[in-house]
Copies of this chain bind each other. A is one copy, B any other.
């Protein structure tokens, strides 16, 4: 039907709002699709609204450039069926295997905004429940790569590493990249910002240099310096992933097939030939047991074989945070201190050197872990780090003391004496987020005690830092509520025979 249109800035999904009466005339219902015949035809979701007058349609502004119309123009709006990919989504709901073409049509339709949130949610839920086999995941990965940009290096091989995440305080990336680059190998590292964590790698790296760059700049720095610490989100590498995350996030799911394709597609897009995957294992992470960890390792390696990337996996200890610091500036400071030669916290040094060592061994060196420690201790890694920071617009003469955490500090002390039995990653993340991390750069947590350590009543377990007093106070309240530390005596439970009279 012909209808008078008006444009309004109403979010990201392309929608048309019309009244019930007009919707019936068009023959469409809520969440059906309509085609708007403007200069070019645009597809939008029908939204039945009581607020719109009969004979009028409100169109989301993001379609204005397609239909090239102005407020008050009359355009023809007709019902149109769902894209073919909705059938493929239904096939996955029915637990059928999808062809390369079907998977590709879903990826393309998500990217082109042709699938609604309802449909993307059904897709991810079906993926979560019914999964994909390795062939499907490989097709999925390739589709994700093909719908984005690719980096073409003149240098080869291209080394890369990736951490599955889930453990707070995992600040090893700048150390690993610096060591590997100092050894003469090229590692063009892209990282993410926090999705549900308190601090992603890019969240803390951007406290001392720029992380936003295009693929050309990434290529140039990597080839010249040997390493880079870029934010992947600024580039158009497997862009469909960013759209999917917006739906995964509120559901709190990350389907295995989606996760594997998402990781490998970014590596494939950057041209990685060799990849080390860090699989943190510990209670409260995505990987609670060694069996789950091994299954992931198998998946990564099988998928690498199909995609012609040499993959090795490291299962790492994640029952408590890595190192002592959680939050952007706190993590940046701890990371740079280690590059400067500080021997503490040893967990960060060990993990970084072991991972870097695996990359070096892939590059043909022997005793990679030892070699990595030598490079770190010699100062060569720090020198390489300075080069990377400078190339990314930071200060070559950067020092760890330049990173000053938030001015508001709250101490959390132990209410009893004993030993630290468990530390809840999840609770610490919630507390750090309440304090303002990752958007408040000074916010976070500094741990004074870790698992197995002796604690006396009144000892400081950790400090909460914040850029804002109210948030810091709120985080302290949360700490009192959650009690992330479990302190017990050595004697956990007494089992005695029943007394005889």
> Which residues from chain A sit less than 8 Å from chain B, CB to CB?
8-12, 15, 17, 24-25, 27, 29-32, 47-49, 51-52, 58, 61, 82, 86, 89-90, 93, 95, 116-122, 124-126, 128-130, 195, 246-247, 249-253, 433, 436, 439
Contact = CB atoms under 8 A, between A and B. Distances in A.
> 6 shortest A-B CB distances, which residue pairs?
A9-B51, A121-B121, A125-B125, A10-B10, A118-B121, A31-B250
Given A116-B250, A121-B122, 5 more contacts: A9-B51, A12-B47, A90-B251, A118-B247, A129-B130
B119 A250 contact: yes
B58 A9 contact: yes
B47 A433 contact: no
A61 B117 CA distance: 21
A15 B11 contact: yes
Contact of A118 (B52, B58, B95, B117): B117
Tell me the number of copies of this protein: 2
A11 B9 contact: no
A246 B20 CA distance: 13
Contacts of A49: 9, 11-12
A49 B61 CA distance: 11
A247 B122 CA distance: 10
Contacts of A125: 93, 121-122, 125-126, 129
Contacts of A126: 125, 129
Nearest to A434: B27
Nearest to A251: B122
A246 B31 contact: yes
A45 B128 CA distance: 23
A52 B52 CA distance: 22
B128 A121 contact: no
A292 to B, nearest CB: 14
A82 B247 CA distance: 13
A37 to B, nearest CB: 14
11 contacts: A11-B15, A12-B47, A12-B48, A29-B249, A30-B246, A86-B250, A118-B118, A118-B120, A118-B247, A119-B250, A129-B129
Contact of A8 (B10, B95, B251): B10
Nearest to A126: B125
Given A17-B10, A47-B12, A252-B90, A439 B27 contact: yes
A25 B58 contact: no
A95 B129 CA distance: 8
Contacts of A58: 9
A58 B61 CA distance: 14
Contacts of A252: 82, 86, 90
A422 to B, nearest CB: 22
Given A126-B125, A128-B93, A249 B31 contact: yes
A61 B51 CA distance: 9
Contacts of A439: 24-25, 27
A250 B118 contact: yes
Count chain B CB atoms within 10 A of each CB in A118, A247, A436, A439 and give the residue with the most: A118
A439 B228 CA distance: 61
Contacts of A253: 90, 93, 122
Contacts of A48: 12
Contacts of A15: 11
A89 B121 CA distance: 12
Nearest to A430: B81
Contacts of A86: 250-252
A119 B10 CA distance: 20
B24 A17 contact: no
Of listed A12, A17, A89, residue having the most chain B CB within 10 A: A12
A496 to B, nearest CB: 37
Nearest to A250: B31
Contacts of A31: 117, 246-247, 249-250
Given A24-B439, A31-B246, A125-B93, A8 B8 contact: yes
Contacts of A82: 250, 252
Given A9-B17, A95-B129, A119 B249 contact: no
A234 to B, nearest CB: 13
| Among A48, A93, A119, A195: residue with most chain B CB under 10 A | A93
Contacts of A124: 122
Contacts of A90: 251-253
